[in-house]
Amino acid sequence: MTKRSKKSLDERVAAAVRRFWRTRSSQGRRQGSTTGRQDSGNRAVATGGKQLDGFNQLISELLEEANIPPQSILRTSRKDVTLPGFFRPTKQWDLLVLHKRSLLGVLECKALCGPSFGNNYNNRIEEAIGNATDIWTAFREGRFSPSPKPFVGYLLIVEEAAGSTRPVSVVQEHFAVYPEFAEASYVRRCEESVRRLVHERCYDAGCLIVTHKTRGKRGEYSEPATDLTFSRFSQLMCGQIATLYRATV
């Protein structure tokens, strides 16, 4: 057992949560320091990137502990993670697992933070559906040949705030929405959306983590859905990718 694996998974997720909020705060302070211009609203940190590097690093470590060679694990902070698409030339993912020119795993990490939870929620779900459609169509058409069917995972971090936890009304003028979405908070909507993305096989596994801006800096987080926990997500991801890897050795 490596030294880093002696920490509990909860401690390691907490460290990634702390890094997430620390990076967002740092980006918010630095943005515009050289140009004198600041993005409006929360765009300064939303466009900064790198907030989810802690989760990418943790998942890389877990894959290594599942005996995936480190040189086969590519993530945004270290190497190119671009894949061809079907409906567009390319898409940059957060983490890839490649071995002997076989694509074994793909990870998408996203964050949903305020203050515009409504717009951000819609954007995130539209992105998730589009990205999944794009990669699976490219796979079907043989773009990643001779790869087996890769594992594709989706991880979403949602800010816990008044705007994301209170019930939100929904327009039902012409037809009724699904009852799971009616009067549901954005956290609850995210839970249902990620669950449906998995059930409809857009992704092989999904994870939903909720964390408050202040308490998150201490590493606190919650997982509102037992079927979307990081533990379950990482076990599925590492297990499936390890199985694919052994078949290529």
Could you read off the pLDDT of 116-157 as tens digits, one per residue? 999 999 999 999 999 999 999 999 999 999 999 999 999 999
8-state DSSP, 67: T
User: Would you say residue 96 has pLDDT above 80?
Assistant: yes
* Distances, alpha carbon 153 to alpha carbons 24, 38, 128, 211, 233, in Å: 23, 33, 10, 20, 8
Question: Between residues 45 and 208, which one has the greater pLDDT?
Answer: 208
Produce one character per residue of 165-199: b if its CB has 16 or more CB atoms within 10 Å, e if not: beebeeeeeeeeeeeeeeebbbbbbbbebbbebbe
163-185 average pLDDT score: 95
End-to-end CA distance of the chain: 23
Per-residue pLDDT, 245: 97
Amino acid at 39: D
Query: CA-CA distance, 43 to 35, in Å (whole number)?
Result: 15
Q: What is the pLDDT of residue 247?
A: 94
Least confident of 44-58, 71-85, 216-230: 44-58
Question: 51: exposed, middle or buried (C-beta count within 10 Å: 0-12, 13-18, 19+)?
Answer: buried
Q: Which of the four pLDDT bands, split at 50, 70 and 90, describes residue 29?
A: low
Report whether 51 contacts 24 (CB < 8 A).
yes
pLDDT for the residue 33: 46
Long-range CB contacts (within 8 A, 24+) of 167-176: 168/118
pLDDT, residue 26, reads 84
Whether pLDDT at 38 is above 50: no
Residues written for the chain? 249
Spatial separation of the C-alpha atoms in residues 128 and 88, rounded to whole Å: 15
Whether the predicted pLDDT of 22 surpasses 90: yes
What pTM, to 2 d.p., does this model score?
Answer: 0.90
Edge-to-edge order in the sheet of strand 73-75: 73-75, 95-99, 102-112, 151-160, 205-212
Counts for the chain of helices (H) and strands (E), in that order: 7, 7
Question: Cα–Cα distance between 238 and 15 in angstroms, integer?
Answer: 20
Q: What is the mean pLDDT of the chain?
A: 91
What's the confidence (pLDDT) of residue 76?
81
The answer to whether residue 233 scores a pLDDT higher than 50 is: yes
More confident residue, 193 or 248: 193
pLDDT > 90: what percent of the chain?
83
pLDDT tops 70 at residue 35:
no
Q: How far is CA 89 from CA 49, 83, 156, 167, in A?
A: 22, 9, 25, 39
